[in-house]
Amino acid sequence: MSTAVVYSVPAERAREGVGAILEASGYFKRLRPKKRIGIKVHFGEHGNDNHIRPEFVRAAAVAASYYNLQPVVIETTALYRGRRQEATEHLKLAREHGFTMANVLAPLEILDGRRGEKSYDVPLDSELVPVAHLAHGLRRIRYIINLAHFKGHFVAGFGGVIKNLAMGLAAKAGKLAMHSTSKPSIDSEKCASCGDCVDYCPNHAINYVQYVAKIGRSCTGCGGCLTICKQNAIRINWDAASETVQLKMIEYAGAVLSGRELIHLNFCLNITPNCDCYPQNEKPIVPDVGLFGSLDPVACEQAAWDRLAPKLKELYPHLRPELLLETAARRGLGTRHYRLVQL
Q: Does 253 bind ligand SF4 (CB under 6 A)?
A: no
Listed as own residue / partner, the contacts of 95-99 with beta carbons closer than 8 Å and 24 or more positions apart are 97/43, 97/44, 97/49, 97/51, 97/54, 98/53, 98/54, 99/41, 99/43, 99/54, 99/57, 99/73
CA atoms within 13 A on the CB side of 158: 33
Site string for ligand SF4, 213-242 (x = CB under 6 A): x-x---xxxxxxx--xx-x-xx--------
Is 178 a binder of ligand SF4 (CB under 6 A)? Answer: no
Residue 194 touching ligand SF4 (CB under 6 A): yes
Query: SS3 for 157-185, per residue?
Result: EEECHHHHHHHHHECHHHHHHHHCCCCCE
Site membership for ligand SF4, residue 297 (CB under 6 A):
no
How many residues interact with ligand SF4 (rule CB under 6 A)?
28
13 Cβ neighbours under 8 A, 6+ residues apart = 20, 290
What is residue 285's DSSP assignment? S
Residue 52 as a binder of ligand SF4 (CB under 6 A): the answer is no
CB closer to ligand SF4 out of 217 and 283: 217
For residue 125, give Cα distances in angstroms to 162, 237, 315. 19, 26, 34
Nearer residue to ligand SF4 within complex by CB, 221 or 293: 221
- Give least dist CB 248 to ligand SF4, A: 18
Pick the closer one to ligand SF4 by CB: 67 or 80.
Answer: 80
Between residues 112 and 301, which has the closer beta carbon with respect to ligand SF4? 112
Is residue 65 within the footprint of ligand SF4 (CB under 6 A)?
no
- Residue 39 to residue 24: CA distance in whole angstroms: 18
User: Which 196-215 residues touch ligand SF4, going by CB under 6 A?
Assistant: 196-197, 201, 203, 205-206, 213, 215
Distance CA 176, CA 170 (A): 9
How does DSSP classify residue 261?
Answer: E
- Of 88 and 182, which has the nearer Cβ to ligand SF4? 182
Choose between 209 and 286: whose C-beta lies nearer to ligand SF4. Answer: 209
Per DSSP, 224 falls in state G
Map the footprint of ligand SF4 across residues 307-336, applying CB under 6 A. none
182 touches ligand SF4 (CB under 6 A): no
Q: Which stretch binds ligand SF4 (CB under 6 A): 38-46, 59-67, 184-192, 279-287?
A: 184-192
- Residue 211's contacts (CB-CB under 8 Å, 6 or more residues apart) are 193
Nearest to residue 268, comparing CAs of 300, 299, 313? 300
DSSP-assigned beta bridge partners for residue 263: 145
> x-or-dash pattern for ligand SF4, window 129-168, by CB under 6 A?
----------------------------------------
Q: Report the residue from 101, 128, 192, 209 that binds ligand SF4 according to the rule CB under 6 A.
A: 192
Residues binding ligand SF4 (CB under 6 A): 183-184, 186, 191-197, 201, 203, 205-206, 213, 215, 219-225, 228-229, 231, 233-234
